[in-house]
Copies of this chain bind each other. A is one copy, B any other.
Amino acid sequence: MQPELLFFSPTGADSLLLSLFIIFAAAKLSAEFFERIRQPPVVGEILAGIIIGPSVFKLIHHTELTHALSEMGVMLLLFTVGLEVNSRALFRVGTISLLVAVCGVVLPFIAGYFFMHYTGGNTAEAIFLGAALVATSVGITARVLSGMRMLSAKSSQIILGAAVIDDILGLLVLSIVTSIAKGQIKYGEILTTAAVSIGFTLFVALVGTKIVKRASPSLERLRIGHAYFVGGLILCLGFSVLATYIGMAAIVGAFLAGMALAEISEHTTMHNQTSAVMEFLVPFFFVGIGLQVDLSVFTDKQMVIMSLILTTIAIATKLLGCGAAALPLGLRAALQIGVGMMPRGEVGIIVAQLGLGMGVLSKASYAMVVFMAVATTLIAPPLLKLLYDERDKAASTSPESEIVEPEQPLSSM
């Protein structure tokens, strides 16, 4: 592709920079408004995307470029969150995270399957819709918890651990579902995918920190500027690529890279520098979710009702599934975890796009999934804000939790 002639353009404005300006300024203006009405700014940024996007003002469309910036934004978000998470603390809640993830996958899948089945979809469409309800988009929850400085709370740790496991399970569900839709199930391939993704995650979580610690003196000997920051970014990008090779989400790789670096980042400026890059790029992720909404398909009344029912199912199944698994920790923690696992965000949309592309999902079902994904994403942040308070923060500062304290909050959310 020939790049446009932008630097010396006697013919008018640079469309790339104009898009960046509109997206960034709209996101921050809206975030400021939401701060003032005491609502989570992340909701404002997603709504800004809907408003400037194809649904309302049609200023910006979701292009390859907004998609790329959005992906970079969420990658850096999960990397920065990883930098604040101690892998040992995460392992301590490993069993309950596993339980939360499994219940939060099984229940939505079954409910989604039967919803589609009883509303007239064929089997392939029903299992694909089930799959679209499975995967949690952890970016939203992570941003809200981090903004409230709640990442070190026990329930937050469980959510993060469950989100990683959820991604692996979601990947396996999608592999199986795709195989079924194509007419043949390749058990060998699915088993390999499972083994490799679990192996990668455990390897990084278990020995990543130790390897990084041993390698860090050689970073000191580098002559380029900001060696820790640069090294961290390379590890983040490398692990993200590796994760996608395995078939996992890039953000899981970024999160694991951050976690491996958590201990050595304490004594460097890496965390502040990464946060700055994240602050610049992450609005493109949230706005990007809004840009994918096309409200014009919701002129049909039945469509609206169906979408609302699907959204209710999506909310109820994660709340019940994840919440029930976390109930031994008390109702409060169970609710926090259930709500934290609720947003489907970009992950739900991507599964639906895959189904649409394969011809398995109808356009109407696709639109319903997008509605559900955005609605669950918009509902979770205000609920999280209500469910967390000073008690959770107090619990997090106990020495027992062994949490890496952030140098500064990711955001004043």
What residue in chain B is nearest A11 (Cβ atoms)? B247
Which of A63, A249, A279 has the most C-beta atoms of chain B within 10 angstroms of its own C-beta?
A: A279
* Chain B CB within 8 A of A330 CB: no
* Chain B CB within 8 A of A226 CB: yes
**Is there contact, CB below 8 Å, between A244 and B25?**
no
List A residues 14-28 near B (Cβ within 8 Å).
14, 16-18, 20-21, 24-25, 28
* Chain B CB within 8 A of A313 CB: no
* Interface 0/1 of A227-262, CB less than 8 Å to B: 001100110011011001101011100000000000
Which of A17, A41, A135, A413 has the most C-beta atoms of chain B within 10 angstroms of its own C-beta?
A: A17
**Known A12-B245, A247-B10: A64·B3 in contact at CB below 8 Å:** yes
* Chain B CB within 8 A of A55 CB: no
**Is there contact, CB below 8 Å, between B241 and A17?**
yes
**Known A64-B1, A64-B65, A279-B225: A237·B6 in contact at CB below 8 Å:** no
How many residues of A are counted as interface, with CB atoms below 8 angstroms from the partner's CB atoms? Answer: 82
* Cα separation A2 to B269 with both chains bound (whole Å): 38
**Is there contact, CB below 8 Å, between B147 and A17?**
no
* Cα separation A245 to B17 with both chains bound (whole Å): 11
* Chain B CB within 8 A of A193 CB: yes
What residue in chain B is nearest A2 (Cβ atoms)? B353
* Interface 0/1 of A343-355, CB less than 8 Å to B: 0001100110110
- Tell me which residues across on chain B come within 8 A of A280, comparing CB atoms: 233, 277
Residue of B36, B249, B276, B413 touching A274 (CB-CB under 8 A): B276
* Chain B CB within 8 A of A57 CB: no
**Is there contact, CB below 8 Å, between B25 and A171?**
no
* Cα separation A171 to B309 with both chains bound (whole Å): 58
* Cα separation A357 to B10 with both chains bound (whole Å): 14
**Is there contact, CB below 8 Å, between A350 and B6?**
yes
* Chain B CB within 8 A of A185 CB: no
**Known A14-B244, A277-B276: A411·B68 in contact at CB below 8 Å:** no
* Chain B CB within 8 A of A140 CB: no
What residue in chain B is nearest A137 (Cβ atoms)? B7
Which of A64, A224, A347 has the most C-beta atoms of chain B within 10 angstroms of its own C-beta?
A: A224
* Chain B CB within 8 A of A272 CB: yes
Shortest Cβ-Cβ A-B pairs, 6 listed: A225-B412, A3-B67, A35-B223, A273-B276, A276-B276, A21-B237
Told that A6-B250, A17-B244, A28-B234 touch, could you supply 17 new A-B pairs with CB distance under 8 A? A8-B350, A9-B244, A10-B175, A12-B245, A13-B244, A13-B245, A14-B240, A17-B71, A20-B72, A24-B237, A36-B223, A65-B68, A226-B276, A226-B411, A229-B276, A276-B276, A277-B280
Chain A positions near chain B (C-beta within 8 angstroms)? 1-10, 12-14, 16-18, 20-21, 24-25, 28, 31-32, 35-36, 41, 62-65, 67-68, 71-72, 75, 135, 147, 170-171, 174-175, 178, 193, 222-226, 229-230, 233-234, 237-238, 240-241, 244-245, 247, 249-251, 269, 272-274, 276-277, 279-280, 346-347, 350-351, 353-354, 357, 409-413
- The 25 sampled A-B contact pairs (Cβ below 8 Å) are A3-B62, A5-B354, A6-B71, A7-B250, A9-B244, A12-B244, A13-B241, A14-B244, A16-B68, A18-B241, A21-B234, A21-B237, A21-B240, A24-B237, A25-B234, A25-B238, A28-B234, A35-B224, A68-B68, A147-B225, A224-B411, A224-B412, A225-B411, A226-B411, A277-B277
